Amino acid sequence: MQPRPGLSRLCSAVPSDHDAPPRGVTTEADSPTLKHADHLSGHHRETISQILQHPVSHNIEWRAVVSLLQAVAQVEETHNGKLLVTLGGETETFEPSNHKGINTQQVVDLRRMLRGAGFDDAEVTSSRAR
């Protein structure tokens, strides 16, 4: 006998195909691709632009990066507070910043992942102008 779908969400010990992903996790089906860059908010496009610009910007806020990643990637928070991010077939672990901004190595890693997924500054900028 199958438990009712609503009941299985209350009982984590009873797995069900009807369960939603854990809170804070974006599924592949929810993740937009570059083809949907038009649907990213202006804040998300600005964050991508800051990440991709040269030289490295030192005032990219951690909360803006997390918001962007939740919009474009599969994001899972691990038990120790780190973010496990999968984008474009690549998975990277990011440790939350102790400061308001992210460090240079995080910018480099984010650039690699975004470009690997097909994001580039020209595409984001042209989407912003629309």
For residues 92 and 117, the answer to whether their CB atoms sit within 8 Å is no
Q: Is the dihedral of CA 73, 60, 56, 103 positive or negative?
A: negative
For the chain, which residues make up each domain, given as ranges?
22-129
**Sequence-distant (≥ 6) Cβ neighbours of residue 130 within 8 angstroms:** 38
The whole-chain average pLDDT of the chain stands at 76
Instruction: Please count the residues of the chain.
Output: 130
Sign of CA dihedral 87, 93, 95, 101: negative
Distance between CA 82 and CA 109 in Å, rounded?
A: 15
Q: What is the mean pLDDT of residues 77-93?
A: 93
Entry pTM: 0.67
Q: Residues 25-74: pLDDT tens digits? A: 444 444 444 445 667 899 999 999 999 998 888 899 999 999 999 999 99
pLDDT at 9: 38
- Residue spans of beta strands (DSSP E) within 5-99: 74-77, 83-87, 90-94
Amino acid letter for position 4? R
Residue 41 and residue 124 in contact, taking contact as beta carbons nearer than 8 Å: no
d(CA 66, CA 71): 9
What is the share, in percent, of the chain residues with pLDDT greater than 70? 63
Answer whether residue 109 shows pLDDT above 60: yes
Residue 10, pLDDT above cutoff 90? no
- Is 80 or 21 the better-scoring residue by pLDDT? 80
